DNA sequence: TTGTGTTTTATTGCCTCC
DNA sequence: GGAGGCAATAAAACACAA
């Protein structure tokens, strides 16, 4: 890249050439790449002619104001820190607006006795510090919501295990009951057999209905919505899973439109606990819904 | 006192906007 | 093309433990 040169007027009326840019604050720009002292940067002469009014008025009210200012003046010509009051003034100004229009920059510089360039630099650095803090805060916030989400997920896993064992238990009970019924069916009257079949049908419907409720993500103890701000992924995954789940479910179990009960139920295929479990655990929206989180 | 880490002030180079 | 913003960096000032 070609080197650029900048022509500036020095505070003593001299003109100098530098390869450094001085953003719009030409007149009291530094004269070389090594810092030559703040006399070239700070026009303390302004204090005498009153242009540094507001800052120095408030500054003079401080108990140690004059001492601090004298110390500031007496420092050797090298990089110096701004005084406490200058920084305080700049901080207040930054709180009002962290951007600096040219007019405001000049006004601020006059009020605290600094070069406009120094004010601009201070705002630049202050914005950088603010951004860093903001990033740290954002990180903390994300960490917090992640922890909450993780806790929710762990609760869901526990709830799922609980419900699963409940379903297994009920399935086993139903199977046992049905087995016992078929063994003794020969001794029943036709009326008793019919009644028993009706009761079993009802139990099957209840069983299937319960599974549907657990699987569709809408009527369980937790819904995707309850997961909070970061539930987007869950919601998406779950809705996709729920769709597939419902489709699979319809194919496997649901009665057809005319009320005809699925052949699989008629064939007692659902009675096989392994079959039930494989259906339940094989849902696209089951564990896969949480596959996004890798622990 | 001195070595070391952190903060502050300032510079440089690049980019965008007008 | 000039002005101004930002990221990266230098260097002085400062804090602090050993």
Tally of structural domains, chain A = 1
pLDDT at position A103, please?
93
Rounded CA gap, A198 and A208, in Å? Answer: 15
Q: Is residue A292 part of a domain?
A: no
Three-state DSSP class for residue A67: helix
Rounded CA gap, A40 and A79, in Å? Answer: 11
- Chain A, 81-120: which CBs lie within 7 Å of strand B? 81-82, 87, 117-118
Q: Is residue A126 part of a domain?
A: yes
Q: Is residue A266 part of a domain?
A: no
**How far is CA A139 from each of CA A12, A136, A152, A231, rounded to the nearest angstrom?**
50, 5, 20, 18
Q: Is residue A230 part of a domain?
A: no
Q: Is the CB of A79 under 7 A from strand B?
A: yes
pLDDT at position A182, please?
67
Q: Is the CB of A27 under 7 A from strand C?
A: no
**Angle A5-A108-A51 (CA atoms, 0-180°, nearest 5)?**
95
What CATH number is attached to the domain comprising A113?
Answer: 1.10.10.60
- Chain A, 125-154: which CBs lie within 7 Å of strand B? 125, 129
Q: Is residue A183 part of a domain?
A: no
Q: Is residue A70 part of a domain?
A: no
Its domain, for residue A116, covers 84-141
User: Rounded to the nearest 5°, which phi and psi values hold at A17?
Assistant: -110, 135
Q: Give yes or no for a contact between A29 and A22, defined as CB atoms under 8 angstroms apart.
A: yes
Burial A58-74 (b: 16+ CB within 10 A, else e): ebeeeeeeeebbeebee
Q: How far is the CA of A250 from the C1' of B10 (A)?
A: 71
Q: Give yes or no for a contact between A6 and A117, defined as CB atoms under 8 angstroms apart.
A: no
Q: What is the CA radius of gyration of chain A?
A: 39
Q: Is the CB of A81 under 7 A from strand C?
A: yes
Q: Is the CB of A79 under 7 A from strand C?
A: yes
Q: Which residue has the tokens 């916030």?
A: A141
pLDDT at position A188, please?
56
**Intervals of chain A under pLDDT 50:** 1-68, 71-76, 216-295
Tokens in use for A270?
A: 């659902």
Q: How far is the CA of A119 from the C1' of B11 (A)?
A: 15
pLDDT at position A44, please?
33
Q: Is residue A94 part of a domain?
A: yes
Q: Is residue A123 part of a domain?
A: yes
């Amino acid at each position: 890249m070609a080197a650029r040169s900048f022509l500036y007027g020095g505070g003593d009326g001299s003109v100098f050439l530098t390869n450094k840019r001085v953003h719009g604050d030409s007149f009291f720009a530094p004269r070389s790449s090594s810092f030559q002292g703040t006399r070239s940067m700070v026009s303390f002469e302004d204090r005498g002619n009153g242009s540094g009014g507001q800052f120095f008025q408030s500054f003079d009210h401080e108990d140690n104001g004059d001492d601090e200012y004298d110390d500031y003046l007496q420092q050797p010509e090298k990089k110096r820190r701004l005084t406490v009051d200058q920084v305080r003034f700049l901080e207040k100004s930054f709180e009002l607006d962290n951007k600096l229009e040219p007019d405001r920059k000049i006004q601020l510089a006059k009020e605290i006795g600094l070069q406009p360039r120094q004010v601009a630099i201070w705002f630049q650095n202050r914005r950088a510090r603010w951004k860093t803090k903001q990033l740290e805060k954002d990180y903390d916030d994300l960490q917090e919501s992640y922890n909450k989400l993780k806790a929710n997920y762990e609760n869901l896993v526990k709830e799922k295990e609980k419900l699963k064992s409940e379903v297994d238990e009920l399935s086993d009970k139903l199977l046992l009951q049905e087995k016992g019924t078929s063994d003794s069916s020969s001794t029943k009257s036709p009326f008793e057999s019919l009644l028993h079949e009706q009761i079993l049908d009802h139990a099957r419907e209840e069983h299937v209905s319960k599974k549907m409720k657990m699987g569709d993500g809408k009527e369980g103890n937790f819904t995707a919505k309850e997961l909070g701000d970061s539930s987007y992924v869950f919601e998406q995954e779950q809705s996709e899973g729920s769709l597939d789940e419902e489709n699979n479910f319809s194919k496997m179990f649901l009665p057809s439109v005319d009320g005809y009960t699925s052949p699989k139920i008629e064939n007692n295929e659902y009675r096989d606990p392994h079959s039930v479990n494989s259906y339940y655990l094989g849902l696209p929206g089951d564990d896969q819904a949480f596959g996004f989180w890798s622990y």
